[in-house]
Amino acid sequence: VQPGSPSPIPAKLRDIQWGKLNFLHTTDTHGWLAGHLQEPSYSADWGDYISLATRMREQAESQGWDLLVIDTGDRVEGNGLYDSSDPKGKYLYDILKQQPIDLLCSGNHELYKQNTSETEFLTNVPNFMDSYIASNIDIIDPNSAKLVPLGPRFKKFTTKKQGYRIMAFGFLFDFIGNYNNTRVQRVEDAVKESWFQEAIHDDEIDLFIVLGHVPVRSEEYQAVHEEIRNARGNIPIQFFGGHFHIRDYARYDTHSSGLASGRFMETIGFLSIDDVKSTAPNFSRRYIDNNLFSFYHHTGLNETNFSTNHGRNVSHMIQHARHALDLDYVHGCAPKTLWVDRTPYPSSDSVYTWLETEVLPQSIRNPLRDGTSALAVVNTGAIRFDIFKGPFTQDSTFIVSPFTSGFKYIKDVPYTTAKRIVALLNGQTKIFTASAQHPHTSYCPLAPPEQCAYQSGNMATKDRQTAYLQRTSQQHGQAIISLEVESDPQYFPGYTTIDDAGDDGDDTIHSSVSFYQVPNVIPTLIHPHSTQVGEEDLDSSEEPSTVDLVYVDFIEPYIALAAKFSGLDVNLPQDSDVYMDGVTLTHLIENWIKKNWKCDEATS
């Protein structure tokens, strides 16, 4: 663990159930290799995870069983350890590669920017060699300028102890937001390729493993499942997924299942199959809270014999990197906790309400447009994490808002049209999220990813969810999107997952936390600033007739689409301009906090 990280709180735990074949799974770690320094439940770091995998592998192998380690992508963007260095990821890749990962693949965040995907290709793929699978991603090789596979399309191997013959694939969902130096083939098309058909017809296979940065309930995985089933009947298939940042476990049939292991190093997913070759293989899943209390419990070890030298050294590497990046530097102190979706929006504890009532009105400004009102539109997915009461550090800056998008604007838009654009972006028709042809699309580009799981309505135990949601919406006037289990004062709050195997998947027995729906975008009307020195800003209670429509440039394609539907005659990007040169949402938030959140006894 990192110095200063909080000790885990002892809790009642459910055991893991070992099988002859066992897996540890991470996904959507987004640079959180130091663990959570403000949350005891998730305070273990990548070094501790290395110790866990080593100890569990030792124990499995001593019984003649196998253990495989899997990661399903989005390892970058979302934490100071990755985002605050120059170049980004200066320390991350060396730390990541310390864990012997047996199978890994790319997420969408590895592909948003040219330099990220090129680093993936030139550094991370070689670090993991043939374990890195890219079944549907190509990249323009920066050396040859040729389009080549990002990594091998599949991996065939035999497990060390049981000798299971495995064929593994590694997919990315049908992502369309990648930079133009990469090509993502639709999964539904990739499975029709001859290399895939040959691979699934290989007779010398006991088990297929499909890993992917793909939600476990998705059209993409349905297509892979169907293709393998059609070719190979009842052969066991184990899927590992991610992207929606949720814990989830789907049973597709008696011989296949899919595990999703959360986000941000909160969860280490465990899965076992016993026995792959039997007529009725038994699958067992567990979502392990990422802390030493859980790790000691599941290995039967303790603080004197759990950590390996290698694990401890990696914790030191992380500590050194955090120190070099000055991640503990305090910019200010939050007077209270602000939540992404653990409180209704709008409300005084919502990070979005804080943004739209305080940060944006006081920070969005273009002196050249001082006489004009602005409607600032920020996508809710641009905010990645909660802000906890207390010190707001250099690390927190990137945890909350890691992206490098600036602000652009369309000038002099009729205010009614601007409001219509916002309404469309937030619309129930879901034209920007899902369509009639693809109601369960994995791509929902505006809101935080966990919201997409709820938007697509494609969750476990749907009937129970629906009944519950109807009841709670009536009670609270706003949709709550998680199920509550009985709350019990002897438990502290945390994940209480309901999946296709029931409600006993989490290792730690928690009391439940409610999650609420948030819109795709939040609009903030900013009244004109005075152009005269010393004059007060104009106070306008009246609605403006026109506004500058200001937005984070990441959402420009969706603004363009909504503008078209709203009858606004603009051609983007030609008709838009930079609103605040070189300023990102991250800068705005950091500067506002420096000015407004002083540390004193009450807040630090």
Q: Which is nearer to ligand LLZGTKA7, 125 or 446 (CB)?
A: 446
Q: Report the nearest approach of ligand LLZGTKA7 to the CB of residue 448 (Å).
A: 6
Nearer to ligand LLZGTKA7, 166 or 383 (CB): 383
CB count in 10 Å sphere of residue 436: 8
Residue nearest to ligand LLZGTKA7 (CB): 381
> Residue 400 CB, nearest distance to ligand LLZGTKA7 (Å)?
12
- Three-class secondary structure of residue 24 per DSSP: strand
Regarding 379 and contact with ligand LLZGTKA7 (CB under 6 A), the answer is: yes
For residues 235 and 583, which CB has a smaller minimum distance to ligand LLZGTKA7 in the complex? Answer: 583
CB 330 within 8 A of CB 391: yes
Interacting residue with ligand LLZGTKA7 among 169, 554, 579, 592 (CB under 6 A) = 554
Residue 50 or 340: the one with the smaller Cβ distance to ligand LLZGTKA7 is 340
Query: Could you tell me the two tokens for 273?
Result: 């199959």
In the numeric block, which tokens belong to residue 119?
């680093």
Alpha-carbon gap, residue 429 to 555, rounded angstroms: 18
Find residue 471's DSSP bridge partners. none
CA proximity to 381, closest of 327, 330, 432: 432
Closest distance of CB 444 from ligand LLZGTKA7, Å:
6
Question: Cis peptide leading into 573, omega within 30 of 0?
Answer: yes
Question: Closest distance between ligand LLZGTKA7 and the C-beta of residue 443, in Å?
Answer: 8
- Answer for which of 91, 112, 196, 551 binds ligand LLZGTKA7 (CB under 6 A) is 112
Query: In angstroms, what is the minimal distance from the CB of 97 to ligand LLZGTKA7?
Result: 22
Nearer Cβ to ligand LLZGTKA7 (74/174): 74
Cβ neighbours for 113, distance < 8 A, ≥ 6 positions apart: 179
Residue 578, both tokens: 């930079």
Q: Which of 43, 51, 108, 257 binds ligand LLZGTKA7 (CB under 6 A)?
A: 108
Of these, 39, 45, 48, 74, which contacts ligand LLZGTKA7 (CB under 6 A)? 74
Is residue 208 within 8 Å of 166, Cβ to Cβ? Answer: yes
CB of 560 to ligand LLZGTKA7, least distance (A): 16
Rounded Cα–Cα distance for residues 269 and 506 (Å): 9
User: Can you tell me whether residue 69 is helix, strand or coil?
Assistant: strand
Query: What string of H, E and C letters represents the secondary structure of 39-68?
Result: CHHHCCCHHHHHHHHHHHHHHHHHCCCEEE
Contact region with ligand LLZGTKA7 (CB under 6 A), list: 129-137, 162-170, 286-294, 374-382: 374-382
Q: Where are the alpha helices (DSSP H) in 201-235?
A: 219-232
Residues 400-459 that bind ligand LLZGTKA7 (CB under 6 A): 403, 405, 445-447, 449
Nearer to ligand LLZGTKA7, 391 or 445 (CB): 445
Instruction: Give the nearer residue to ligand LLZGTKA7 in terms of CB position, either 77 or 499.
Output: 77
Q: How far is the CB of 92 from ligand LLZGTKA7 (least distance, A)?
A: 16
* Tokens encoding 142: 């920066």
Q: Cβ closer to ligand LLZGTKA7: 167 or 444?
A: 444
Kindly report the number of other CB atoms within 10 A of residue 143's CB atom: 10
Structure-token pair, residue 91: 């320390």
Segment 15 to 44, residues that bind ligand LLZGTKA7, using CB under 6 A: 28
Note whether 381 binds ligand LLZGTKA7 by CB under 6 A: yes
Contacts of 88 (CB under 8 A, 6+ apart): 76, 82, 115, 116
DSSP bridge pairs for 149: 138
Select the span of 86-94, 104-112, 218-226, 463-471 touching ligand LLZGTKA7 (CB under 6 A): 104-112
Residue 419 C-beta-side C-alpha neighbours within 13 Å: 8
Q: Which window, 106-114, 204-212, 306-314, 366-374, contacts ligand LLZGTKA7 (CB under 6 A)?
A: 106-114
- Measured from the CB atom, the residue of 403 and 579 that comes closer to ligand LLZGTKA7 is 403
Distance CA 124, CA 390 (A): 36
* Integer Cα distance of 395 and 388 in angstroms: 12
Residue 287 CB, nearest approach to ligand LLZGTKA7 (Å): 18
Strand partners, 50: none
Residue 390 falls in which region: left (phi positive, over 0), alpha (psi -120 to 50) or beta? left
Provide the β-strand partners of residue 369. none
> What binding mask, one character per residue, do residues 503-542 give for ligand LLZGTKA7 by CB under 6 A, x or -?
----------------------------------------
Q: Which amino acid is at 3?
A: P
Distance (Å, rounded) from C-alpha 458 to C-alpha 469? 14
Contact residues: ligand LLZGTKA7, CB under 6 A = 28, 74, 108-109, 112, 243, 379, 381-382, 403, 405, 445-447, 449, 554
